[in-house]
Chains A and B, each alone.
Chain A
Amino acid sequence: MTGSLVIAKREINAYFNSASAYIFMMAFLLCSGILFFFNSGFFVMNQASLRGYFSLMPLVLSVFSPALTMKFWAEEKRQGSYELLLTLPFSDLELVAGKFLASLLVVIYTLVLSLGVPLCVSMFGHFDTGPIFSEYLGAILCASAMLAVGQAVSAASNNQISAFIVSVSILLALSLLPQFAIWIKLPDFFMSAINWLSLSYHFGSFARGVVDTRDVAYFVLVSMACLFLASRFLAARKWS
């Protein structure tokens, strides 16, 4: 996996050499912070809790994580470096894993910066710090699945904008599925199937402070499946 580290290093440099990583971090922190403090009734509830902050996480990540992945393959194809990467001694999986690792590190870095939010909340009263660990772990796992979905879409796409729009649509659909299911009152069997598919459903237990191995397995499985799919898209182009 040394190849993945080489790719990850290049990608991280590319993120921070351009404004894209800074814009992502700023927009993510501002957006999630504003929504939490001013839109989800934090001050009205008069409760020092981060549950509201993390309940927004699947939606915020659905919109922001494709911003990190949309350029992955579409941009490589546009500037011709795609041919370079595929003719250097990297396996398809190494390439995909390297880019994934870079995007995940940017998200983790952003989440570390978001620790300012719990610090702010702690000024308003005491809250249980235990769930913070599970909430942040859940956020990282959820972001990992979303970044993997975004990369698979980018690998299948030739254009950054279309990769972004398709990724956001898929991720929003996966996040909002349970709500749709409640509105249209589906039978229980379908409800549980839809819940199982939903990213926000699996994230829910982390937001409540519970680390359930089934949810961990779900996010890991989705991440691996999508990364494998992305590598297959790269391989398929060799036959085109």
Chain B
Amino acid sequence: MIEVSGLVKRYGFFEAVKGVSFKVEPGRVVGLLGPNGAGKTTIMKVLTAYHRASEGTALLNGLDVALDPLGVKRIMGYLPETVPLYLDMTVREQLGFAAMAHGIKTRHKISDAMERVIQACSLSGFEDVRINRLSKGYRQRTGLAQALIHDPEILILDEPTSGLDPNQILEIRSLIRSLAEKKTVILSTHILQEVEAMCSEVLILNEGSIAAQGSAAKIAESLQGGEKLDFVIYTDSQFSSGKWMDAEAGLGLYMAESHQVSENSRRFVVKTEIGKGDELAIKVFDWAAANGFKLLEIKREQLSMEEIFVRLTGEGIKK
């Protein structure tokens, strides 16, 4: 379990993380999401005892990172953003070094641990290749294998799929999902689909603070209902902009987009920015009926991770 409370990290006068608190239960995969400079990597560096927190505490399975850094390093596996490997070593030598560093002593146990991670990270056939000859994807796999060599209880992964091809991404995602059954995993990523694909919970960071926390569905729900409502109406009469404004006022929502399907068509597509569940859908239905429009389609859709991200991190067009 990871427990972070009131974590602050200052670099000189710059406050990179501003009082962040969160908890990751065992068997969960939590994704740290945020724009560049939001504090994701800094939080990871504090959790791995690479950096000291300026204030606050971070506990990994009850061990305080500041008071027992060695204990923390023994129970966690870390894959930094820049995969840290010795280019002059072969994959086998690198993994052997990591195994010995984690106190795996006998040759037999080291060999077993290596076999396990080589299989898990699909590195078979590359064991004796020098790392400077490996592609970026294979270096990433070696880095991940290295983080897994001692079968850690906690995994901290900074952008684990960066540089991988689509097949490798799918493999690594499924590996992380399978690992999460027994471990606590925290990962950061810029790829929003990755969060949806792998994480049971999301922590959206913005300018060093938590902007939202919870499952993607919960965060979407908290955003004023968190739904988009798209509908198509059929009208016999010409539609004026005044009518849209009336509709906007009457329904209490913002029409993000409305257009005639084609020049002579009497179909109009309307996309609302944020919906409010059943209540709004009923209002739309009543409004259409009152104005003599036929409602051809009505579609409720949850906000995508991209939309949640843009809203919470203040990027993109603010309405």
Contacts and interface: CB of A to CB of B under 8 A. Distances in A.
Interface of A: 2-3, 6, 9-10, 13-14, 17-18, 79-84, 86-91, 238-240
Contact of A17 (B83, B88, B100): B88
B253 interface: no
Contact of B51 (A13, A81, A91, A238): A238
Given A13-B93, A18-B88, A238-B52, A88 B102 contact: yes
9 contacts: A17-B88, A80-B80, A86-B49, A87-B78, A88-B73, A88-B102, A89-B70, A89-B73, A238-B49
B85 to A, nearest CB: 7
B11 interface: yes
B67 interface: no
B103 A81 contact: no
Interface in B56-84: 70, 73-74, 78, 80, 82-84
Given A13-B93, A80-B80, 6 more contacts: A80-B82, A84-B80, A88-B73, A89-B103, A91-B70, A240-B11
A240 B100 CA distance: 29
- Interface band, chain B: 20 to 34
B103 A86 contact: no
Nearest to A3: B101
B86 A14 contact: yes
Contacts of B74: 89
Nearest to A92: B69
B102 A238 contact: no
Interface of B: 11, 48-52, 70, 73-74, 78, 80, 82-89, 93, 97-98, 100-103, 146
A87 B50 contact: yes
Contacts of B49: 86-87, 238
A10 B50 contact: no
A6 B82 contact: no
A83 B50 contact: yes
Contacts of A13: 89, 93
A89 B80 contact: no
Given A13-B93, A89-B70, A83 B102 contact: no
B51 A87 contact: no
A81 B143 CA distance: 11
Contacts of B48: 87
Given A3-B101, A6-B101, A80-B82, A86 B88 contact: no
A110 to B, nearest CB: 21
B55 to A, nearest CB: 13
A168 B242 CA distance: 82
A1 to B, nearest CB: 13
Would you list the 8 A-B pairs with minimal beta carbon distance, nearest first? A84-B84, A89-B73, A80-B82, A88-B101, A87-B48, A6-B100, A238-B52, A81-B84
